[in-house]
Amino acid sequence: MGLLETIREPGDLNSLTALQLTELAQEIREFLVKTVSQTGGHLGPNLGVVELTVGIHRVFSSPHDSLIFDTGHQSYVHKLLTGRQNFETLRQKDGLAGYPERAESEHDIVESSHASSSLSWADGVSRARQLEGETDRYTVAVIGDGALTGGMAWEAINNIAADKNRKVVIVVNDNGRSYAPTVGGFANQLAALQHELQNKLDKVRLDSRYERTLTTAREKLQQGGPLGRMVYQGLHGMKAGIKDVMVPGGIFEDLGMKYVGPIDGHDLEAVESALESAKNFGGPVIVHAITEKGHGYAPAVSDKDDMFHAVGVIDPETGEALAKPSDKSWTSVFAQEIKEIADERKDIVGITGAMLIPVGLKPMAAAHPDRVIDVGIAEQHAIAMSAGLAYGGQHPVIALYATFLNRGFDQLLMDVALHKAGVTIVLDRSGVTGPDGASHHGMWDLALLQFIPGLHLAAPRDAVTLREELREAVAIEDAPSVVRYPKGSVGADIPALERLADGTDILARTGEPHTETGQRDVLLIGVGAFARLALQVAELLEDRGVTLTVIDPRWVMPVPSSVVDLAGQHRIVVSMEDGVRAGGVGSRIRQEMRAAGIDTALNELGLPAEFIKHAERHEILEEVGLTPQKISSDILAQLSGTMVPFARGEGEKPKHTL
């Protein structure tokens, strides 16, 4: 049995010797590489926080002391040390979540995987402890240097620093990166601290005898000798003391907080010593730990782009992906098109929130480095700043994950839309995203955006319409425009039978209108990628003799007039959207139909207004009833007035694939 298997709760760490702790750290890294390479997940960030997490759990006592991880993707080691070592189903349906989750353990507090919020949580939790008189309980927040580019973190620090009696320890995991290298003035400040430390240590570098003695003492300490422990601790403490004397706390101490560091975040003795000092201080403390993303795993360390931030299934020896996508991704289509648009138009400015590579702006940045801006994890700033760029004659294109648009909603409403600014927002990974769970599903944007005055919202169904609608979006100069698309492969193009005058595409049309009513049976409205689902439903219904029309509005806001007109030409209207159905596109179409005096029955199909747990996309869609068979069965029942189950024979499988 290895050491890791003996750790069932954090208290089990306290009996381990220094040598055993070193062995445990190595076991944890080997475990992570082996398991995450089979399931996919956030490998690089967790390899970088092994000693840091072990040290936190040895110095503090969870759950009596509250541990908060920002953003939570670096909590795998925390899970291992709190009795959760069943990583075989990591991020899979009914398996271990990829982020902290309260239902899994009393050691988990914050489930949201949006960055920069941990310090606000720490402020709130520590205030509650103070109000309850629980003065022996600490609140520890682990925040990456990238998350400190978010303004919300500094709002929290401003409040935490004001109270000198609150037991808050903020551990800054400084690896110089969020997803990509950390940018901005704060990143420069941290780098300056490291540089100053190195320069001063070089000037007062102790002679080789000291270094040899320290090495010998470390060896004796690992062998368990009491003399080695005494000598090593004395020498190591002297070296740490030099650091404390020589390195200023910079901006942290200017704010009134105790600063400890920088420390080597992979040196467990240094980590524990710093955390003990912070604990004994009794007030708010910043512990600045220097770590390396992907530490101990050569393929991650050598990957200078994202250092294996998140991986799919890989070869654990080489780090090579084992399952490469057979089709181009939505992101790659956007990446190519926005670069070509930027080649043609000098006013196009790309903006990213610390995610240059994952949102597809890297090719544009390579070609036009002066026209791509990485603002850090600061969506609010990105959107408000874009209004200023538009005022100055530029056309900003802000590329975000759809889930992170939520954070900049006020700025989109009051800074962009109110001022009729020509700003384009591109939402990657919209709808159900799968294994990352509730806080990463991009399912809220369609409902959130419906009531913003003047906003234009496009939902392309394939690569061709993504290119078209992106170009149409950046041509809008007097209002905000949004283009949204899902995660993964874009799939085959879906040609239209006809494009109507207002841009709506007719994708399929079967049968003739009924003589007595002049109507067809069903109008299927497929929003964005759900156009493919609508066509699958149409194939199944056509086999049952149902007459229908399938349309893709392309621009779902404002609602094209042709959609309303077509609704009046059918007995039933069914809208399908990869977003929450409450207040979504279907709801907006219903309002427009009523305003036009059209009383055709409308079924709004979409995601429930719930926080949906992690699972594969197809599993989630099946669970919420968004499958061709279920939708077809319900439509047939509505048309006939009886609940007749729809046959699912081999001959009735739809030709289109999701």
Q: In the predicted model, what is the mean pLDDT of residues 528-532?
A: 95
Could you give the count of Cα atoms lying within 13 Å of 23 in the half-sphere of its Cβ?
Answer: 15
- Mean pLDDT of all residues belonging to the chain: 84
For residue 645, the model assigns a pLDDT of 39
Phi-psi region of 176 (alpha: psi -120 to 50; beta: other; left: phi over 0): left
Indicate whether 198 pLDDT > 60: no
Q: Is 120 annotated as a binding residue?
A: no
Q: Is 232 annotated as a binding residue?
A: no
Determine contact, residues 286/66, Cβ cutoff 8 Å. Answer: no
For residue 243, the model assigns a pLDDT of 40
Per-domain boundaries in the chain = 4-302, 330-484, 506-652
For residue 97, the model assigns a pLDDT of 85
For residue 371, the model assigns a pLDDT of 95
Q: In the predicted model, what is the mean pLDDT of residues 578-598?
A: 93
Q: Is 261 annotated as a binding residue?
A: no
For residue 382, the model assigns a pLDDT of 94
Q: Is 175 annotated as a binding residue?
A: yes
Asked which of 69-78, 340-349, 581-590, 598-607 is least confident by mean pLDDT, the reply is: 69-78
CA distance 100 to 79: 8
DSSP 469: H
Indicate whether 348 pLDDT > 50: yes
Q: At what angle do helices 50-59 and 268-281 cross, to 10 degrees?
A: 40
Residue 645, preceding peptide bond in cis (omega within 30° of 0): no
DSSP 222: H
Indicate whether 643 pLDDT > 80: no
pLDDT band at 320 (very low <50, low <70, confident <90, very high): confident
Q: For residue 425, what are the β-bridge partners?
A: 398, 482
Residue type, 111: E
Q: Which residue is associated with the tokens 């009729």? A: 420
For residue 415, the model assigns a pLDDT of 94
Tell me whether domains 330-484 and 506-652 share a fold: yes
DSSP 647: P
Indicate whether 522 pLDDT > 90: yes
What CATH code is assigned to 4-302?
A: 3.40.50.970
Q: Which residues contact 419 (CB under 8 A, 6 or more apart)?
A: 387, 390, 391
SS3 216: helix
Q: Is 219 annotated as a binding residue?
A: no
Tens digit of each residue's pLDDT (9 = 90 or more) over 555-570: 999 999 999 999 999 9
CA distance 164 to 90: 40
Residue 63, preceding peptide bond in cis (omega within 30° of 0): yes
Indicate whether 325 pLDDT > 70: no
CA distance 154 to 559: 41
Asked which of 90-104, 127-141, 307-321, 543-557 is least confident by mean pLDDT, the reply is: 307-321
Sheet strand arrangement including 424-428: 372-374, 348-352, 395-401, 424-428, 481-484, 456-458, 555-557
CA distance 287 to 271: 9
Indicate whether 201 pLDDT > 50: no
Structure tokens at 423: 């700003």
For residue 44, the model assigns a pLDDT of 83
For residue 531, the model assigns a pLDDT of 96
Tens digit of each residue's pLDDT (9 = 90 or more) over 24-68: 999 999 999 888 888 888 888 888 889 999 999 999 999 999 999
pTM higher than 0.85 = no
Tens digit of each residue's pLDDT (9 = 90 or more) over 226-240: 444 444 444 454 444
Q: Is 103 annotated as a binding residue?
A: no
Q: In the predicted model, what is the mean pLDDT of residues 129-146?
A: 89
CATH number for domain 506-652, candidates 3.30.930.10, 3.40.640.10, 3.40.50.920, 3.40.50.300: 3.40.50.920
CA distance 397 to 482: 9
Q: Is 297 annotated as a binding residue?
A: yes
Cβ–Cβ contacts within 10 Å for residue 327, how many? Answer: 11
Q: Is 146 annotated as a binding residue?
A: yes
| DSSP letter string, 49-79 | THHHHHHHHHHS-TTTSEEEEESSTT-HHHH
Indicate whether 218 pLDDT > 90: no
CATH number for domain 330-484, candidates 3.30.1300.10, 2.60.40.10, 3.40.50.2300, 3.40.50.970: 3.40.50.970
Structure tokens at 355: 């995610």
Q: Is 151 annotated as a binding residue?
A: no
Measured in degrees and rounded to the nearest 5, phi and psi for residue 509 equal -150, 125
Max mean pLDDT range (6-15, 198-207, 251-260): 6-15
For the chain, what is the largest distance between any 2 Cα atoms, rounded to a whole number of angstroms?
102
Tens digit of each residue's pLDDT (9 = 90 or more) over 73-122: 888 999 999 989 888 888 888 888 888 888 889 999 988 778 888 888 88
Q: Quick one: 88 exposed, middle or buried, by C-beta within 10 A (0-12, 13-18, 19+)?
A: exposed
Q: Is 534 annotated as a binding residue?
A: no
